[in-house]
Amino acid sequence: MNQKSCQKSKKRRSKGRTAVATAATLLLIIAAAAILIYKDYFTSDSLKSLFKNEASQESESEPFTYEAGADQVFARAGNGLAVASTTGMQLIDSDGNAVIRQVFSMDIPAVAASKKHCAFYDIGGTTLRLASFDGKYTELDTERPIISVTISSGAYLCVTTEETGYKGKVTVYDVSLTPVYQWFSGSGYVLSAAVGPDNSSLAVLCADGEGGVIRFFSLDSEKERGSFTAPAELFVDLYYMGDGRLCAISENRLVFLNSKGEMVNSFDFGENYLIDYEFSKDFTAVILGKYRSGSEGRLLTVDSNGQVLGEIPLQRDVLSLSAWDRQLLVLYSDSLYLYTQELSEKTVRQGIWRAKKVILREKGDALLLSAYSAELLNLG
């Protein structure tokens, strides 16, 4: 089974947050790649007129508008918004102005974003498009199918692709799309990779039939710095936190690793299923439940020491999570709650109907997203 099969398997998932099976098989790898690649994915086929009735009264400004398209994917880009769909890409600034809009075809659209740059790509395709808020737009032909893309806080792009004769390749680019580092995987399918906030370290997430492994490198050396192995367990996503520790998540636990791959702390999910999660620089939010589906569960926030900062029971479905600056924004089916990282309530908005996704901006306000527009909501 190759990575392209992993990519195609994701299209069969209607929601990108189904739990990952623990059996150490290639089917497990497929499920892990699906969760990883489409963590922030949602479709809006039935969404035609969001926020024209009940929720419109909550908006403090005219909505940000963008071209509608199938299989939309959204990402926060500073205080702006990146939108990818099967019909192209758009980068919208903090005032709702379209800085860049390009029309082209993508089968499985995806986007990775930082404060100033956004990488748009087609999973399984070979073209990466890098856009910035100063209007610059660059295309890169990767030659081999793209598996995933991440952007570090220092604006280094980490591009994972298939590679003939190997189980994947990771290439690190600077903002001019000049390659600065490459690594080829001879064992273990590469699911994703990330450059650390110091722009000098690299973590690569791999998986095979025996379990998962995270490998660590320095960008100035080809020698592996260290690794973390989890037999019979598959980690599906990773994220560098503000203190430089790497947080990796499986369906069983969170682990926090140093730059040598040594586990510093962990948080076990016990008998609960992982339903949803959201990374931030200061904490990781997880929704755990007794069952794989259903509204009953618990929302927890965990710091890089593996300590629970806050915990609340859930009696309603959570549609979307968004974190920024020690705050967590939670969209329920009928309301919107802004919490501190300890899960103390800061702001509550009732009567938020039919929304599908929310993004907490760096300014402290929020964007409520539909298929064609984003309502700006003041949370103060």
| pLDDT, tens digit (0-9, with 9 covering 90-100), for 36-57 | 544 544 333 332 333 233 333 3
Contact 177, 194 (CB under 8 A): no
**Taking the complete model, does pTM exceed 0.95, yes or no?**
no
Interacting residues of 308 by C-beta distance below 8 A, sequence separation 6+: 267, 300, 301, 302
Express each pLDDT in 177-227 by its tens digit. Answer: 999 999 999 989 999 999 998 889 999 999 988 899 999 999 999 899 999
Interacting residues of 186 by C-beta distance below 8 A, sequence separation 6+: 166, 167
- Which helix (H) or strand (E) covers residue 31, if one does? helix 26-37
Interacting residues of 240 by C-beta distance below 8 A, sequence separation 6+: 152, 153, 194, 195, 196, 197, 203, 246, 247
Express each pLDDT in 76-133 by its tens digit. Answer: 998 999 999 999 999 999 888 999 999 999 999 999 999 999 999 999 999 999 999 9
Express each pLDDT in 326-379 by its tens digit. Answer: 999 999 988 999 999 999 999 999 988 777 899 999 888 999 998 778 888 888
- Which helix (H) or strand (E) covers residue 27, if one does? helix 26-37
82-to-73, 105, 151, 331, 353 alpha-carbon distances in Å: 8, 17, 13, 20, 23
SS3 at position 34? helix
pLDDT value of residue 261: 95
DSSP lists the bridge partners of residue 323 as 328
Backbone angles phi, psi at 34, to 5 degrees: -65, -50
Q: How confident is the model at residue 294 (pLDDT cuts 50, 70, 90)?
A: low
Sign of the alpha-carbon dihedral angle for 34, 39, 44, 47: positive
Interacting residues of 174 by C-beta distance below 8 A, sequence separation 6+: 155, 156, 157, 180
